[in-house]
Amino acid sequence: MYGLKTEASFDSAHFLTDYYGKCENLHGHRWRAVVHLAVDDLQAEGTMKGMVLDFGVFKRAVRELAEALDHTFLVEEGSLAPATLAALEAEGFSLFIVPFRTTAENLARYFGDCLVEQGLPVSQVEMYETPNNCAVYRPQ
């Protein structure tokens, strides 16, 4: 088995729906996504001969996902009234609406699934919500 690892960070606001505690309030994190790739065999020909994948291709794919979320308000679809969303948008805030509760676990899966869709051999995504706490997702 051969592996690669890269990471990217993004700053986003969020709140947890149906959470009884401080995380039900709007707050922010510097999220850190650490992505691992794994393959049995290295590429056999071409510019990536002897590689899992070019680090440049890998880091760009992870950074693009992080940049799309950076300095946005991550909103679970249906968690805010349409009038609230409209007011935030009218103020010029960048919202990133997702069809899942904005937990570290779901964000790890979101990164993993997007990268798998792009054809990357993802073995694990770690999503750090704080320097000490991270969720782990391994695509099947």
Which residue, among 53, 47, 65, has the nearest Cα to 111 in the 3D structure?
Answer: 65
Instruction: Report the alpha-carbon distance of residue 3 to residue 105 in Å, rounded.
Output: 22
The window from 16-24, 58-66, 70-78, 103-111 that contacts Zn ion (CB under 5 A) reads: 16-24
Least distance in Å: CB of 131 to ligand LPXRUNBV?
9
Residue pair 93/73 in contact by the 8 Å Cβ criterion: yes
Q: Active-site positions?
A: 23, 71, 129
Quick one: what does residue 84 bind among ligand LPXRUNBV, Zn ion, none, with the CB cut-off 5 to 8 Å set by partner type? none
Q: What is the DSSP string of 90-136?
A: HTT--EEEESS---HHHHHHHHHHHHHHTT--EEEEEEESSSS-EEE
Question: In the range 22-61, which residues lie near Zn ion by CB under 5 A?
Answer: 23
- CB nearer to Zn ion: pick between 39 and 98: 98
| Binding site residues, ligand LPXRUNBV, CB under 6 A | 16, 23, 27, 103-105, 129-130, 133, 135
- Asked if residue 14 belongs to a known ligand binding site, the reply is yes
